[in-house]
Amino acid sequence: MAEESRPGPSIPGLTNPRSLGLQRFPIRTRESGATLSAWRLAVACEEGEGVLVCIDSVDETLYRGEGIFLGWDQERLAAAYRALQFPSDEPPFEISQLG
């Protein structure tokens, strides 16, 4: 998990939210007999700390909130997750045109 925290954008209901780290881990769901991968985004703000979990399966993307995000609906969790993700330091992938 990343050591440095970066300031985050404005998210309704949270004061000064910031991402603490993004980690990939295996997860099992009731609906799937297979092990899936999920992303765990740790977040801190003046209201406390929490975790956003993003489970990306073939059929749909599900979000789960822990800590300060407990009880949030899927739309609100998805918006917070997208807003708090670390920007990539790598340039976007491009396919070169040949010929």
Task: Note the pTM of the prediction, 2 decimals.
Answer: 0.74
Under the banding of pLDDT at 50, 70 and 90, the label for residue 60 is: confident
4-32, pLDDT tens digit by residue?
555 557 899 999 999 999 999 998 877 77
Is the predicted pLDDT of residue 69 greater than 90, yes or no?
Answer: yes
Could you tell me which residues come within 8 angstroms of residue 55 by beta carbon, excluding any fewer than 6 positions away? 27, 29, 36, 38, 61, 62, 63, 64
70-97, pLDDT tens digit by residue?
999 999 999 999 999 865 454 555 666 6
